Amino acid sequence: MASLDSHVLMKSFFLYTLLVTSVSSETKCLNYQSIISFGDSIADTGNLIGLSNPNDLPESAFPPYGETFFHHPTGRFSDGRLIIDFIAEFLGLPHLPPFYGSKNGNFERGVNFAVGGATALECSVLEERGIHCSTNKSLGVQLKSFKESLPTLCGSPSNSIDMIGNALFLIGEIGGNDYNYPFFVHKNIEEVKELVPLVISTISTTILELVDMGGRTFLVPGNFPLGCSVTYLTLYQTSNKQEYDPQTRCLTWLNEFSEYHNGQLQAELNRLRKLYPHVNIIYGDYYNALLRLIQEPAKFGLMNNPLPACCGLGGQYNFTFGVKCGLKEVECCKDPSKYVNWDGVHMTEAAYKWIAEGLLKGPYAVPSLDWSCLSSEIKVKESLDT
Residue 346 among the catalytic residues: yes
Predicted confidence at residue 19, as pLDDT, reads: 37
Which is catalytic among the residues 40, 44, 178, 343?
343
The C-alpha angle with vertex 367 and arms to 365 and 369, in degrees rounded to 5, equals 65
Question: Residue 13 pLDDT more than 70?
Answer: no
Question: Span 283-310, mean pLDDT?
Answer: 97
Predicted confidence at residue 376, as pLDDT, reads: 53
Residue 343 among the catalytic residues: yes
Predicted confidence at residue 26, as pLDDT, reads: 33
Predicted confidence at residue 256, as pLDDT, reads: 98
Question: Span 219-247, mean pLDDT?
Answer: 97
How deeply is 243 buried, as exposed, middle or buried, from its count of CB atoms within 10 A (0-12, 13-18, 19+)? middle
Q: Do the beta carbons of residue 211 and residue 273 sit within 8 Å?
A: no
Predicted confidence at residue 5, as pLDDT, reads: 41
Predicted confidence at residue 160, as pLDDT, reads: 79
More confidently predicted of 238 and 386: 238
One-letter amino acid for residue 242 of the chain: Q
pLDDT more than 70, % of the chain: 88
> Rounded to whole angstroms, what are the CA distances from 181 to 135, 140, 215, 262, 307?
11, 18, 31, 18, 22
Which residues, listed in sequence order, are joined to residue 325 by a DSSP beta bridge?
327
More confidently predicted of 1 and 381: 381
Residue 41 among the catalytic residues: yes
* Residue among 348, 242, 253 at smallest CA distance from 294: 348
Predicted confidence at residue 154, as pLDDT, reads: 75
Sequence ranges of the domains in the chain? 30-307+345-376
pLDDT band, very low/low/confident/very high, at 383 (cuts 50, 70, 90):
low
pLDDT band, very low/low/confident/very high, at 372 (cuts 50, 70, 90):
confident
pLDDT band, very low/low/confident/very high, at 28 (cuts 50, 70, 90):
low
Question: Span 69-87, mean pLDDT?
Answer: 98
Cα(12)–Cα(243) distance, integer angstroms: 63
One-letter amino acid for residue 361 of the chain: K
Question: Residue 190 pLDDT more than 60?
Answer: yes
- pLDDT 10s digits, 115-141: 999 999 999 999 999 999 989 999 999
Label residue 35 left, alpha or beta by phi (over 0 means left) and psi (-120 to 50 means alpha): beta
Question: Residue 29 pLDDT more than 80?
Answer: no
Query: Is the Cα torsion angle 294, 299, 301, 304 positive or negative in sign?
Result: positive
Pairing of β 110-112 and β 34-38? parallel
Which is catalytic among the residues 60, 138, 178, 346?
346
Phi and psi of 36, rounded to 5°? -120, 120
| Strand locations in the chain (E) | 34-38, 110-112, 167-171, 217-221, 280-284, 311-312, 331-332, 365-366
Cα(90)–Cα(71) distance, integer angstroms: 21
pLDDT band, very low/low/confident/very high, at 102 (cuts 50, 70, 90):
confident
Count, in order, helices (H) and strands (E) of the chain: 14, 8
Which is catalytic among the residues 37, 41, 78, 138?
41
Question: Span 174-179, mean pLDDT?
Answer: 98
3-state secondary structure 270-321: HHHHHHCCCCEEEEECHHHHHHHHHHCHHHHCCCCCCCCCCEECCCCCCCEC
Q: Which range is least confidently modeled, 29-33, 136-140, 145-149?
A: 29-33
Question: Residue 271 pLDDT more than 80?
Answer: yes
- pLDDT 10s digits, 317-359: 999 999 999 999 999 999 999 999 999 999 999 999 999 999 9
Predicted confidence at residue 385, as pLDDT, reads: 61
Cα(208)–Cα(220) distance, integer angstroms: 13
Question: Residue 2 pLDDT more than 60?
Answer: no
Provide the mean pLDDT of the chain: 89
Predicted confidence at residue 161, as pLDDT, reads: 83
Q: Do the beta carbons of residue 36 and residue 111 sit within 8 Å?
A: yes
Predicted confidence at residue 356, as pLDDT, reads: 98
Rounded-to-10 torsion of CA 121, 125, 130, 133? 40
Is the CATH number 3.30.980 carried by domain 30-307+345-376? no
Q: Which range is least confidently modeled, 242-256, 298-312, 359-373?
A: 359-373
Q: Do the beta carbons of residue 340 and residue 351 sit within 8 Å?
A: yes
Pairing of β 311-312 and β 331-332? antiparallel
